[in-house]
Amino acid sequence: MLRRRSITINRTIKQNYHNAKIKSESNYHAWIKLTLSALIPLMIAIFTIVTTILQQKLSTQQREQEKQDSLLLRQQTERQEDNLQKENIFATYLDDVSKLLLLENQTNSLIHIRMKTLSALRQLDPTRRKYLFLFLYESGLIYRYPEQPYVSLLKLIDADFNGIYFEGTIETKCSLIHLYLYGVYLSNSSFIHCYIDYSNFSSATMYKTLFLNTLVMRTSFKFTFLDQANFSNTKISDTTFKGASLIECDFTGARWKENDVDFINANLSGAMISDEQLRNSTLYNCILPNGTWGPIRTNNLVVNGDAEKNVSFNLVFCIC
């Protein structure tokens, strides 16, 4: 009886346990089902979001790429147009000036040529400026043979030749002689392995211009602005720098004979110039590299002989 009962109890417990197990299993299944059914939309949602983000990123990249491509294309087109425009300006200039050169009245045509030259130069790049320069040189307009009257020459005061570049070789120097370049702008220009003779750069503005390994003879740099110009390894003879501004000019390795170069009234402040070079130069009334005055001589005061341009620099010397 007792045993039976215990069995009964046992069975009941088992049954209960079994029921509970079934119940919990079915709960478990339901839960998994629920989770799964919730998970699938969630995964789809995540997938959608991730794909959307990726797509957006991709299309942003694409847009950036397209933007960049069109920018490059536009820049290229602009460059081509700009180049074409400059080519046209240059071609028109050559045509016009060639016609003007054939006219009878030279005085009249020189004024026209001057105007056309100033206007063309403003719009051209350094390479075409150089070819324009050579055109004027070979037409004899900026070439002054001895005793030639100045009125027969092209006045290029304020003409913009900045950045033009001449370079020869040791064997074949680039030869530029009898140049008449009074008052022009020639900053950032280069004359490398050149031969410059009988030339007139008076009152020109030539900041940072290079005269490297060049031969400069019988040339005038009167009242020329040559700040930070570089005359490295250049041979100079019979040349004047009267009243020139030569601040921080580099004369390293430059050579000239005794009394062959004069710096009268010039400003050599901060220039790189050796004591030997200074000894070989005429230095009256100039500012030496260290900022002190050279020997003062009142009878050596020069007035601006090339007085077409008002250069205030020479006013300083009135103090003596």
Q: Which of 288, 300, 301, 302 binds ligand NAG (CB under 6 A)?
A: 288
Closest of 93, 103, 201 to residue 144, by C-alpha: 201
Tell me the C-alpha distance between 247 and 271, whole Å: 6
Strand-by-strand arrangement of the 210-212 sheet: 165-167, 190-192, 210-212
Closer to ligand NAG by Cβ: residue 5 or 147: 147
User: Which SS3 state, helix, strand or coil, does residue 303 take?
Assistant: coil
Could you tell me where the DSSP H helices lie in 171-289? 275-279
Q: Which of 96, 197, 238, 306 binds ligand NAG (CB under 6 A)?
A: 306
Determine the length of the chain: 320
What are φ and ψ of residue 310, in 5° steps?
A: -80, 100
Identity of residue 127: T
**229 and 210 in contact (C-beta within 8 Å)?**
yes
- Of 5-13, 31-39, 81-89, 100-108, the window that binds ligand NAG (rule: CB under 6 A) is 100-108
Residue 78 CB, nearest approach to ligand NAG (Å): 22
Binding string, 235-274, against ligand NAG, x = CB under 6 A? ------------x--x----xxxx--------x-x-----
- Of 30-38, 91-99, 170-178, 200-208, the window that binds ligand NAG (rule: CB under 6 A) is 200-208
Q: Which of 89, 97, 156, 163 binds ligand NAG (CB under 6 A)?
A: 163
Q: Does 220 bind ligand NAG (CB under 6 A)?
A: yes
Residue 66 CB, nearest approach to ligand NAG (Å): 35
Tokens of 297: 């001589």
> Strand pairing partners for 230?
210, 250
Residue 128 CB, nearest approach to ligand NAG (Å): 15
Q: 194-197 and 215-217: which strand pairing? A: parallel
Residues at the interface with ligand NAG (CB under 6 A): 105, 107-108, 150, 162-163, 182, 187-188, 200, 202, 208, 212, 220, 230, 232, 247, 250, 255-258, 267, 269, 275-278, 280, 287-288, 290, 292, 306, 308, 310, 316
